[in-house]
Structure 1
Amino acid sequence: MDLAYIPSPSSGVIDLGPIPLRGYAFCIIIGVFVAVWYGGRRWVARGGQVGTVADIAVWAVPFGLIGGRLYHVITDYQLYFSDGENWVDAFKIWQGGLGIWGAIALGAVGAWIACRRRGIPLPAYADALAPGIAFAQAIGRWGNWFNQELFGKATDVPWALKIDADPGTATLAGTYHPTFLYESLWCLGVALLVIWADRRFNLGHGRVFALYVAAYTVGRFWIEYLRVDEAHEVLGLRLNNWTAIVVFLAAVAYFVLSARRNPGRELVVEPAAVVGPVEGPIDGADDGADDDAPKAAQSAGSVSTVKKPREPQKSGRDGEAPRDGEAHDGTPRDGEAEAGEAAGAEASNKT
C-alpha cells in the first residue's frame, strides 16, 4: 500500500458553467502569458520599447503552436494514421501533444519575420525571451498532469504519481515517476541559471538563448530515459534523446562561435527606441539646429550629441580674410578707431 503519492485529476476538464476549461490548454496559455510578460520586462531593460515583445509574439506564438503540433504528429504518426485511428484527432491539440523542438523552431521563424519588419536583431530578441520560455515550459508541463500522460516508470517513491487504468493505452493503475514534475522543476532551474549567467557574464548576441537550449536539452535527455510512453527508437535511444544530443551540440557550437565573433552585448537592440526626431535643443544647440538630427541615445551606454554648426566668417572683401585692425565686416575695431582719430588731429595741428 502506497502511503504517499501525487494524485492525478479525475478529469482534464473543469466546467465553468457552460464553458469547458481544459487543463492542458489553460497551462499552455498561462505559460505563454508569463513568457511574454517577463520577456517584455527584460526587453525594456535592454533598451527596447514597451509592447515590442508582445507585438512580435503575435507572430511567434501561432507559428510555435503549429510547429509543436507538427513535430508531435510527424514523430508519433502512428497515433493518428494507423489502422483504426482517426486522423482528425491530429487537430485536437487540447488533448495534448506539443513537441518543444518544433515549437521553438517554427516559433523562431515567426519571430524572425516580425523582427525583420521592425529592423530588430533576432538574437537580441531571443536573449530577452529565453528565461521566460523556460518558465513557460515549467508551467506548461502541468498540462500533462491534467491529461495523465507522459509519466515515467513504475515506482513507489513518496512523490510518485498515481495514474488510473487506461485500456486504450494498456496502462495499468499504479504509481509512476512524475516526469512532468521533473521537467517542470528542471525548467525552473534552467530559467534561474540563465538569468544569473546573463547578469554575471553580460551575455548577448544570442548566447543567452543558446545557454537556455543547452541546459534544457541536458535535462530532457535523462528525463526521456524514465518515460514509458510509446516512441520511435534509433540505435537503442528514443528519438527525442537523439534530438536532444543534436540540439545540445548545435547550441554549444553557436555559443562558442558567437563569443569569438561578437563578444559582449549589443549596444542597441531596437533602433526605433533610440533614434527619432529632436523635440528641443540638444547640447546647447539653438532653435535653428537641424530638427531631423538624432536624439541622444539614452540606453545601452550609447551616447550621441548634436553640435551647433559654426557661422561662416565674414570679411571686408569677398573671399579675403579680415586685415589686422579690421572687424569681420571691414570696419576698424573700436579702440583702433579712437587711436586713428587722435593721430589725424595731431597731424592737422602740425600743418
Structure 2
Amino acid sequence: MTPPTTFLATIPSPPQGVWEIGPIPIRAYALLVIAGIFVAARWGQKRLSARGGAPGTVVDVAVYAVPFGIVGGRLYHVITDYHLYFGAGKDPVRALYIWEGGLGIWGAIALGAVGAWIGCRRKGLPLPVFADAVAPGIAVAHAIARIGNYFNQELYGSHTTLPWGLEIYQRVNANGEVDALNGVSNGIPLPDSPVHPVFLYELLWLLGVAALVVYLDRKLNLGHGRAFALYVAGYTLGRTWIELMRTDPATLVFGVRVNVWVSILVFAGGLAYFVWGRRKGSREVLEKTDEPATPTGNVV
C-alpha cells in the first residue's frame, strides 16, 4: 500500500526577523528594502537607457529620491498610525525607529518624487521620463519589501482555514519577555493563527501590476508619465481590497481604514492622468547620449 502524501497545511512564519552579529542587529526588513531599491535602480536604468537616457542617471537621481522617499514614507506612517506612538503609555521617540518597520508607500512616493525632481533637474532629464522608466521596478521593489513583512510577522488578516494560511507564533527575547519584532519564536501560535497572509496577496498583486505596466508600455508606447500613472492606478486598485483584509490597528475615517480612502483617491487620480495623458502623444524622444541606447522595442 502506498503511504499517503503529506501536504503543507499552512505557511510557517520565520522564527525571527533579526539576527545579532556582535553589537550589530541585521534586520531582514531593512535588507529586503535595500534589495528592492537595487532591483528598481538596475531595471530602471535599463529602461531609461532604451529611451536615450545617459548611463548612471538613475543612480544619480536615486541619491536624492531614496532619502526623500524614506523620510516621506516614515512621516506618512507616523501620521496615519499616530496611535502607535502618541498617547497614554506610548513612547513618541519610537516614531524615529525606522528600523522597526513602518513605511507608508504614498508618503514615500510623494516625497520621493520631490527628491527625484531635484535629481532630474540637475541631470537635465524630464521627471515624467524618469518616472515611466522606473515604474515597474518600483512595483517589484515594493513586492520584495513585502517579504520583510513576512519576517516581521506583520500585515496579516483574520483567521483562515485555507491551505495557504500563515502561522503566526509568539516571539520572546532572551529574558523570556514577549518581543514580536526582535524576539525569537517559542513555537506557540497566536490565538487567531493561521491567518490570511495579506502581505503575500499584496506581493503577488504588485508583480502582476509590474507585468501589466511592461506589457502596455510595449504595446502602447507609453510616455509623459503614463506608465507611472498606470502603476499607481493598478496598485491602488488592489490595495483597496487588500487593506480591508488587514486586522492590525489603524486610523479610521467614517469607520473605514484611512489607507482605503487614500487608495481610492489616488486610484482615481492615476486613472484620470493615464487617460488624459493620451493627448500628449507617444513616448518622448531624448537626445542621444555618447553611448548607444537599446532599441525601445526590445526593453522590458
Same fold (TM over 0.5): yes
Report the counterpart of residue 56 of structure 2 in structure 1: 51
Report the counterpart of residue 143 of structure 1 in structure 2: 148
Q: 1:255 aligns with which of 260, 274, 277?
A: 274
Q: Distance in 1 between matches of 2:19 and 2:204?
A: 25
- 5 Å-filtered alignment, 1:36-75, equals 36-75=41-80
3-state SS of 2:25 partner? strand
Report the counterpart of residue 283 of structure 2 in structure 1: 265
Q: Distance in 1 between matches of 2:52 and 2:107?
A: 30
Q: Distance in 1 between matches of 2:259 and 2:92?
A: 23
CA offsets, 1:118-148, max 9 Å, x none?
2211000000000000000110001111111
Corresponding letter in the other structure for 1:227 = R
- 5 Å-filtered alignment, 1:116-127, equals 116-127=121-132
Report the counterpart of residue 242 of structure 1 in structure 2: 261
Report the counterpart of residue 3 of structure 2 in structure 1: none
Larger Rg: 1
Q: Distance in 2 between matches of 1:117 and 1:254?
A: 26
- 5 Å-filtered alignment, 1:134-283, equals 134-165=139-170, 172=191, 174-260=193-279, 262-268=280-286, 271=287, 273=289
Q: Distance in 1 between matches of 2:240 and 2:146?
A: 16
CA offsets, 1:32-67, max 9 Å, x none?
010001001101111111100010000000000000
* Contact 2:39/2:141 (8 A) holds in 1: yes
* Contact 1:5/1:160 (8 A) holds in 2: yes
Q: Distance in 2 between matches of 1:100 and 1:38?
A: 20
Q: Distance in 2 between matches of 1:15 and 1:31?
A: 22
Q: Distance in 1 between matches of 2:80 and 2:151?
A: 23
- 5 Å-filtered alignment, 1:308-319, equals none
CA RMSD of aligned residues (A): 2.3
Q: Distance in 1 between matches of 2:11 and 2:258?
A: 28
Q: Distance in 2 between matches of 1:134 and 1:53?
A: 16
* Contact 1:274/1:299 (8 A) holds in 2: no
* Contact 2:57/2:123 (8 A) holds in 1: no
**TM-score under structure 2 normalisation?**
0.86
Q: Distance in 2 between matches of 1:42 and 1:137?
A: 18
Q: Distance in 2 between matches of 1:168 and 1:26?
A: 20
* Contact 1:24/1:147 (8 A) holds in 2: yes
Report the counterpart of residue 130 of structure 1 in structure 2: 135
Amino-acid identity (%): 58
Report the counterpart of residue 185 of structure 2 in structure 1: none
CA offsets, 1:218-237, max 9 Å, x none?
11011011100011222232
Q: Distance in 2 between matches of 1:18 and 1:84?
A: 28
Corresponding letter in the other structure for 1:98 = L
Q: Runs of 5+ in structure 2 lacking a partner? A: 1-6, 172-177, 181-189
Q: Distance in 1 between matches of 2:11 and 2:107?
A: 30
Q: Which runs of 4+ in 1 moved over 6 A?
A: 166-169, 297-301
Corresponding letter in the other structure for 2:17 = G
Q: 2:16 aligns with which of 11, 26, 41?
A: 11
* Contact 1:48/1:273 (8 A) holds in 2: yes
> Does 10-19 or 68-77 show the bigger shift?
10-19
* Contact 1:165/1:173 (8 A) holds in 2: no
* Contact 1:150/1:227 (8 A) holds in 2: yes
Pair 298,88 (structure 1): closer, same or farther in 2 beyond 3 Å? closer
3-state SS of 1:156 partner? coil
Q: Distance in 1 between matches of 2:293 and 2:59?
A: 22
Shift of 1:238: 1.1
CA offsets, 1:68-97, max 9 Å, x none?
000000111111111111111111111110
3-state SS of 1:273 partner? coil
Q: Distance in 2 between matches of 1:259 and 1:205?
A: 9
3-state SS of 1:160 partner? coil
3-state SS of 2:289 partner? helix
Q: Distance in 2 between matches of 1:129 and 1:298?
A: 16
Q: How many equivalent pairs are there?
A: 275
